[in-house]
Structures are given as C-alpha cells and as structure tokens.
Structure 1
Amino acid sequence: MRLGLDLLFMVPGETGGRETYSRELLRALRETQPDLHVTAFLNRETAAAGPGWWSELPDRAVALPRVWARKQASWALGETVVLTRAASAARVQLLHSPANFGPAAGRFARVLTLHDLMYRLQPELVSKAVRVATDAVLVPAAKRAHRVITATEASREEIAAELGLDRDRIVVIPHGAHPPPRGTRDLAAARARLEAGTRPIVLAVATNVEHKNHPALLAALAELAPEERPLLVIAGHGTDELAARAAELGVGGDARLLGAVSDAELEDLYAVATVYVTATRHEGFGLPVIEAMGRGLPVAASDIPVLREVAGDAGWWFAPEDPRSIATTLRSVLAGGAEVEDRRRRGLAAGRNYTWATTAALTVEAYAAALSAQTS
C-alpha cells in the first residue's frame, strides 16, 4: 500500500505527544508491514531541521515549500489545499493525518487521528478566533474522513456527541508505550544532576501549554510545609519558562524546570522518580501516565474521564484546579504503605499491556476499513 503521512503540524521537539505518536506508530508500521511504501509530507520548519525520523523512516519525504507550521494561515492552506494536491501527485492510496487536522477531499482514502476536542470542551483555554479557525479545518476533515481514530472510549463519546459522527466510523486504538530500556542506570548521577539529595522526586512530563496546568503543581508544592516538600521535576518543551512563577510562590528551590529533555534523560528521570503526577485539565489519552506505570511508578492524576479509563484502579486522583487537593494526594502517595504498593503493582501490570505493535496492527485494520469505505 502507498501510504501518505501528514506531518504538516510538526515542529520537531516542540509538538509533544502528537510527534511521539506519529514517530512511534510509523516505526511500528515499518517493522510489521514490509510492503508499506510511505511518503511523509513536511512543512518548512521540519524540512529545515535536517535529517530526523521524519526523513529516515519514510521511503520518501516531500517538503511543501509554502507551508509553515508556525504561520496559521499558511498551515491551514497547506492542510486543506496544498496537501491534497501533493498527496494526489504522489499517488498515495491512503493519507493518514495523525494530529487532529487534515484535508477534507482528495482521490485517496483519508484517516484522521483525532486526539481530543479540548478547544470545544474547554473553550476558556483558547480564544474565540482559535475556536473558529480550528472548527473550519478540523470539522470538515473529521466529517469526511473514511475513518477517525481516537485513543480512548471517552474521547470517542466526546467526538460522536460534539461532531455528530457515526460511532461506527470512530475507531478506538490506544497508543503504545515502550518498555523501560534494559541495563542499569546511574541513579546516583541522575539524582546529583537534579541536586535532589535524599528527597523524594515527583515527576511531571508535558509540554508547557495551558491545559497541562503545570502552575497548579507549583501551587500545590507551596501548600506543603517546607520540611515535607518533595523535589518537583517538570520536563517538557517550554517548562523552563515557569521559573518566575515558581519564584513568586516561594518554591523555586523545590522545583527543577528542565525544558525539553532527550529520551535518555527522560528515562533517567523515570528511574529516579518516586511518583508521577499530572494536573492536566483535558487529555485524549495520557501517554506519560502509561509510561510511568509501566516503569513501576505510582501515578497521581487529574480526576478526568480519559485518565480514569487509562489508569483505572491504579491511580490516585485529585481535582486539577485545587492545589490543596493535589497537595493532599501527593502527601498520601509519598507516605507509602500497602495501598500505595498495591496500586503501583496494578499500574505496572496495566502499563505493560500497551505496545506500539498492537497500535500498529489495529491501525492497519483501520486503513483497510477506510479503503473499503472509499470504494463502496
């Protein structure tokens, strides 16, 4: 099959979970589908970044020279018009748009991965202009896709209700997660780099965008007495910009705001962490939660439907808008005990069930259904 992969959304290293999903799905597809011919469509920023997975994993990478991800009008025109022409010229049989947006027309089957509808369900997080512009591109793409993929049943219900899509056209395919790498890690060196001393480490991993709600974690840290505060480590693109807020709250010395980190650095952080935490307001899946559970970490998380579905009875839950609720939950988890250990073990077992090989196999089934729908 000649597959097209829409990467016009991506700025390498800055687009968080959507980039991870696209990269790991493509890797798994390449490993399991030897007859797959993949053409990746890139924007100017990605093309200018030089070699990377986006040029090494596909059979062919096509840069669209007039499409910029950071220029909204240029990107929207790219998704709706330029990409349709480029995919047709490349003679793809199916185009997969893995990051919420894609073309609504073309002489090829179309699969859209729709991670969530946060812009509609949490409208206070974005401007009216952004909501209108997002609707203009996303809704036609979703309504005219031959299959829509999303990662959880909760997201499927939101999409069906909000957009009026037939549930049979929406396929639930959970994301995968890599198992922890083999071999030993130098935990003492990793702790030393963080200047953690003997303190427990609470880890959060996410790009610094508003719905990830990182400031609530800093506020929760301030709710704890100085002598009981863990070291809060937040990793992800832009998280180093939270330093001023941490200083305002008087917890600058209790937080390490690392910005983007490499895969090896992230594994070190998982290895030395005591607890994983997320105060996100909205998610389509929650990949770091799965990664953390699969590495044996207790998880304290926002009490929202998607994370309840993903973590189940392994999680510890709090109200993400209430720093005191977050602080109380962290205090309970950090205290340890039989209940913490029991939930940790349940999470470890659950986390290991998520693999990219399974994600790829189910995605291939969705491709087949889309191709069938196109010709019927």
Structure 2
Amino acid sequence: MRIALNASILRAPRTGIGHYVAELFSALRNLGGIDLELFDGWSWQEGLPSASLPGYSKLSGAVKLLLPNAYQLRRLMQQHRFDRGARRVSPALYHEPSLWPFDFDGPMIMTVHDLAHVHYPQTQPVDRLREIERQVNGGLERASKILVDSQFIASEVVRHYSVSADKVVVAPLGHSRRFYPRSFEQLNVPLAEHAVRPREYLLCIGTVEPRKNLQLVIDGYLALPEALRRQYPLLIAGMPGWRNEQLQGSLQRALASGQVRLLGYLQDNALAELLAGARLLLFPSLYEGFGLPVLEAMASGTPVILSRRAALPEVAGDAGLYIDPEDIHGCASALQNLLEDEAAWQARRTAGLLRAQDFSWARCAQITANTYRELVGS
C-alpha cells in the first residue's frame, strides 16, 4: 500500500506538527506493509530529512515581506511539484498532516490537530490566517477521513465545520523514546550548560503567544516566596510567537530579576534532557488540541501543573495537578505545593509515569494504518 505523506513542514525547525510527521512516519514504517512516499515541498523522498533546512525561518519570513501573495505563489509551485511526483509514484492515498491539502485525484486524509485559527486568530499572521480560511473548508469536504489527536478536537470539528461524526477518527499522539526518566548523573553535564541542577528549576514549554498563557506563568511564579524563587529559577523554552506584545513588559521585568530565563527554541535532545531534569512542568495553556509537552513530561518522570482546558485533561488524566488558568494565587499555591511537599511531588511523578504508558506512537500509527486500509480496500 503506497501512501503519499506531505512532509514539507519538516523544512522548518520541528515543533508540534513536525514532530507528528516524523514520529508517525517512523511508527508506520515499523508496522510494515506500508510504502511511504514523502513530499518535502519540492521533491519526493522515501526517508525523513535528517535536519531542517538551514535558515528556513528567516528565508521564509523574508520572502513573505518581499512578495505579495507569497503563500499563494508558493502553493502554486508546490502543487506543480506535487502533481509531477504523484504521477510518478502513483500513491493509493494522500495524507495531509495540516490544514492545507494539495489537490489530489484519489482518496485523501487530513489530520486536524486543533482549531487555534478559529479560537485565537490573533495569534496568526493575517496572510496566513486568510490562507487557512481559504483552504480548510474545501479540504475537509474533500477528505475521505479526518484524523484528530483527541476526542475534544473531534467534537470541535464536527460542531464547527458540520462534518459527519463517522468521518472523524481519533488517533491520540505518543511520546518519543527520548523522553524517559534519567539519573542525576546523566543530567548533570547537559544541565550545567543552563547553569541549573537536576530538580532545582521549573520549566515552561511553549511558543511565546497569548494562548499559551505565559502571563499566568510569570505572574504565578513571581507570586512565590522569594526564597523559593531563588532556589528554583523558571526556564521558558519556546520560539517567539505572534501578537505577544502584551507579554513583553512583565517578561522583561522578570528576566531582569535573573530568576526567569528565556531559552528560545531548543533542539530535540536538549529539550528532552531539560524536561527530565525539571522539578515540574508548568503548562497552563488556554487551548490545546492535545498537549504533547504534558505527555512528554509525564513520560520523563516530571510532574505537571496544567489547566483543565480543551484536550489537556484527556492527556493528563488524574496525574496532573489542575489549576484555574486565570488564578494567579491558585497557580502559586500549586507550585508551592509541589516544591515543598515531597510526598505530593512523588505521587504526581508516579501517576504521570503510569499515565504515559497509555499513549504511544505505535498505537497512533496502528489507528492511522487501519484508516488507510479502510479507504484503499487492502
């Protein structure tokens, strides 16, 4: 069974959808019986690219500034290259992992990870949002099946786009093998690069944008007693997002204190080490279609404080410590609880490790492969 998979997202530094494509590709390969052909936006390949295209983000940004209608022009060129390759490899089915499917003369599957463009349009560049709105409705109509990461997103897709429920398939995500509990000896050297020691810092992961609720992260942390902040610095890992101006004042003040540090984008292994060494992950996001960092933290043996919003309870279950994402003092209280109460911390760690066992990329791939076979009849 030959499947075409759009992997053009892998030209950029890997974030959520990029990790999804890479992990799903590897897990499908392990199942056997599926011949995957990857389209990287320009050419067709049988294997994953080893790394993102150097300077891709800067180059892409420059092109958008210099060329009007850059998204449409790029799409036309990519569609031409996609068509040429599709005629040659002749896939039985095309899988699009984002909201912008190419035209394809055959069955097509889309993966919808979230509806952030609907609920938080202010976090998207205007031209990108316009192109999403132009593409997504037609794509969902053409799709033979729609894969989603959670039951929450399945319900949203059915409700917002009037899609038939039997067209939507829930395929929960998994955690990579690089996320696992590590000894202090394994962590001392890599963590020294950030001037921290194992279990002596807090971690927040996410693009610096409003829906990640970093304002609460900063305010809740700064509401902790001074002694705890001196003992446990807060590290924030993630790329700058859109419309994050309102964060800048408080963020800059927090950074000036030296107790909050902004790390920017981290490579996969560095992030896994940092996550395994954290005292806890603070993830009070307002909206997530799944919440991979939550699962990855639990798999690493790191307790999670998170909001009971969107799909996050589906991932953390009873292992997470939930807070009101608008309650600064509630956030500070939860932080203080897991920093000072060793028994509570250990209980959350144990529950998280157990909960993470319910999720795997092998399971996600099996559900995906079953959907492929249902459509192509083999």
Provide TM-score, normalisation by structure 2: 0.82
1:260 and 2:265 are equivalent in the alignment:
yes
| Cα displacement (A) at 1:129 | 5.7
Question: Please, which of 226, 235, 238 is the counterpart of residue 237 of structure 2?
Answer: 235
Residue of structure 2 equivalent to 1:62: none
Alignment of 1:120-135 (within 5 A): 120-126=118-124, 130-135=128-133
Residue of structure 2 equivalent to 1:60: none
Say if 1:79 and 1:102, in contact at 8 Å, map to a contact too. Answer: no
Question: Please, which of 280, 305, 313 is the counterpart of residue 308 of structure 1?
Answer: 313
Deviations 1:142-167 (A, max 9, x none): 12101100011011001100011111
Q: Which amino acid aligns with 2:147?
A: I
Question: Please, which of 351, 363, 367 is the counterpart of residue 368 of structure 2?
Answer: 363
Deviations 1:243-297 (A, max 9, x none): 8753323654112322222232123212321101113221111111111111211
RMSD (Å) for aligned C-alpha atoms: 3.3
Alignment of 1:169-180 (within 5 A): 169-179=167-177, 180=179
Residue of structure 2 equivalent to 1:200: 200
Measure, in 2, the Cα distance between the counterparts of 1:295 and 1:250: 27
| Cα displacement (A) at 1:366 | 1.1
Distance 1:198 1:74, change over 3 A: same
Distance 1:117 1:79, change over 3 A: farther
Say if 1:156 and 1:172, in contact at 8 Å, map to a contact too. Answer: yes
Deviations 1:137-195 (A, max 9, x none): 11211121011000110110011000111111100001111344587553332343222
Alignment of 1:325-336 (within 5 A): 325-336=330-341
Residue of structure 1 equivalent to 2:349: 344
Residue of structure 1 equivalent to 2:101: 102
Question: Please, which of 156, 159, 165 is the counterpart of residue 158 of structure 1?
Answer: 156
Q: Which amino acid aligns with 1:139?
A: N
Say if 2:41 and 2:78, in contact at 8 Å, map to a contact too. Answer: no
Residue of structure 2 equivalent to 1:294: 299
| Cα displacement (A) at 1:320 | 2.7
| Cα displacement (A) at 1:27 | 0.7
Distance 1:332 1:25, change over 3 A: same
Say if 2:181 and 2:299, in contact at 8 Å, map to a contact too. Answer: no
Say if 2:306 and 2:321, in contact at 8 Å, map to a contact too. Answer: yes
Residue of structure 2 equivalent to 1:74: 73
Gaps of 5+ in 2: 52-59, 65-69
Residue of structure 2 equivalent to 1:24: 23
Measure, in 1, the Cα distance between the counterparts of 2:355 and 2:98: 26
Say if 2:223 and 2:332, in contact at 8 Å, map to a contact too. Answer: yes
Q: What is the number of equivalent residue pairs in this alignment?
A: 356
Measure, in 1, the Cα distance between the counterparts of 2:144 and 2:248: 45
| Cα displacement (A) at 1:73 | 2.3
Question: Please, which of 44, 50, 54 is the counterpart of residue 48 of structure 2?
Answer: 54
| Cα displacement (A) at 1:203 | 1.3
Deviations 1:311-331 (A, max 9, x none): 111111223344443323212
Measure, in 1, the Cα distance between the counterparts of 2:323 and 2:83: 44
Say if 1:236 and 1:261, in contact at 8 Å, map to a contact too. Answer: yes
Deviations 1:198-225 (A, max 9, x none): 8731112233344323343223222223
Say if 2:38 and 2:46, in contact at 8 Å, map to a contact too. Answer: no
Alignment of 1:217-236 (within 5 A): 217-229=217-229, 230-236=232-238
Distance 1:304 1:24, change over 3 A: same
Q: Which amino acid aligns with 1:101?
A: W
Distance 1:78 1:93, change over 3 A: farther
Identity of aligned residues (%): 26
Distance 1:194 1:97, change over 3 A: same
Q: Which amino acid aligns with 2:272?
A: E
Q: What is the SS of the residue equivalent to 2:275?
A: helix
Q: What is the SS of the residue equivalent to 1:305?
A: coil
Say if 1:190 and 1:272, in contact at 8 Å, map to a contact too. Answer: no
Deviations 1:63-108 (A, max 9, x none): xxxx9996422344457676456434431111111123213x4222
Q: Which amino acid aligns with 1:95?
A: Y
Say if 1:87 and 1:95, in contact at 8 Å, map to a contact too. Answer: no
Say if 2:286 and 2:310, in contact at 8 Å, map to a contact too. Answer: no
Measure, in 2, the Cα distance between the counterparts of 1:123 and 1:102: 20
Measure, in 2, the Cα distance between the counterparts of 1:183 and 1:316: 22
Measure, in 2, the Cα distance between the counterparts of 1:31 and 1:127: 38
Say if 1:221 and 1:327, in contact at 8 Å, map to a contact too. Answer: yes
Distance 1:306 1:9, change over 3 A: same
Q: What is the SS of the residue equivalent to 1:346?
A: helix
Measure, in 2, the Cα distance between the counterparts of 1:176 and 1:140: 29
